[in-house]
Amino acid sequence: MTMIETKSHIIEDIQEWKKKRNAILLAHNYELPEIQDIADVLGDSLALARAAAETSADVIVFCGVHFMAETAAMLNPEKTVLLPDLDAGCSLADSITADQLREWKAEHPDAVVVAYVNTTAEVKALSDYCCTSSNAVDIVRSIPEDKEILFLPDMFLGSFVQRETGRENMHIWMGECHVHAGIAPEHVDDVLTQHPEAELLVHPECGCSTSSMYLMSEGILPKNKTHILSTGNMLKHSKQSQAEEFIVATEVGIIHQMQKQNPEKRFIPANRTAVCPFMKMITLEKVLDALKENKHIITVPEETAERAKLAIERMISIG
């Protein structure tokens, strides 16, 4: 049996087992192409959280990283949530612990805590709002201006939100995603020099996002060609834009979907090495094993889930 035939056979088995178990397959935009192609719902963190909250499936197979599966489990305590590889973690989520947040809150007892969805369940449980890159600005704007804000854990997204909202009473945790932080201004400069007509799509977690915003405000980067967007909005923009070339400053996995949706356009990664190893851990074989053997069930302690759920539901309802 050839490799293509083997792959096709595994996909057929996955479809059969999904029917047997009344399962839904959710996948993030950074997953392997073969996982993206079989997903029932493909999207960014916000889209997947909404899908998890709305599904009537009995089993949710989450092709993403651990905090995403935790979020799905908290929204669906009566359902079985499976993460095909337990090692699929997140460097950004690891950049702040619940104890660190408790200490930070103690220093600012009246502050509202806004936690990026890339955090553990324990951190979410100590937060007032969760957010994703697509609605972080809307969430901060919904908070009364006289309220102090603690924004965590991504410093690049926090800087973007602060600049967009003009909130001076906003404190930002100094965390980062090691993959996005590795997309530096010089990478963007090099690719822009080679492709001067291309539109620039920048994820707000990127190390180049702050400089891109500054360069836009100074007129060095053209505002009509530079866009700070979540992964979901990058996909929407690339479909709607009349441009033929795009420089993409985020994890390279999203380019598969962009190219698939826009075969006549060209997508160039700002940094070809921007690959998240955690997002590439889940394979077709692991998805099949998860469905057949109930691997690996993700649960969250009831008390933690109850406290975190309000922050997550606020995230889903805004933006």
- Non-local (6+) Cβ contacts of 236 within 8 A are none
Beta-sheet pairing, 112-116 with 149-152: parallel
Q: Establish whether 133 is an annotated binding residue.
A: yes
Catalogue the long-range contacts made by 33-36 (C-beta closer than 8 Å, 24 or more residues apart).
Answer: 33/253, 33/256, 34/7, 34/283, 34/284, 35/63, 35/282, 35/283, 35/284, 35/287, 36/253, 36/256, 36/257
Q: Establish whether 193 is an annotated binding residue.
A: no
Q: Establish whether 177 is an annotated binding residue.
A: yes
The phi and psi torsions of 207 (rounded to 5 degrees) equal -65, -20
- Non-local (6+) Cβ contacts of 12 within 8 A are none
Q: Establish whether 204 is an annotated binding residue.
A: yes
CA distance 21 to 18: 5
Q: Establish whether 117 is an annotated binding residue.
A: yes
Q: Establish whether 276 is an annotated binding residue.
A: yes
CA distance 121 to 227: 31
CA 248 remoteness from chain centre = 15
Do the beta carbons of residue 257 and residue 280 sit within 8 Å? no
Q: Establish whether 208 is an annotated binding residue.
A: no
Q: Establish whether 205 is an annotated binding residue.
A: yes
The phi and psi torsions of 115 (rounded to 5 degrees) equal -110, 125
CA distance 21 to 15: 10
211 is written with which tokens?
């400089």
Do the beta carbons of residue 170 and residue 240 sit within 8 Å? no
Closest by CA to 203, choosing from 238, 178, 233, 166, is 233
Q: Establish whether 118 is an annotated binding residue.
A: yes
Q: Establish whether 287 is an annotated binding residue.
A: no
Binding site, annotated residues: 28, 45, 90, 116-118, 133, 177, 203-205, 231, 276
Binding site, annotated residues for [4Fe-4S] cluster: 90, 177, 276
Binding site, annotated residues for iminosuccinate: 28, 45, 116-118, 133, 203-205, 231
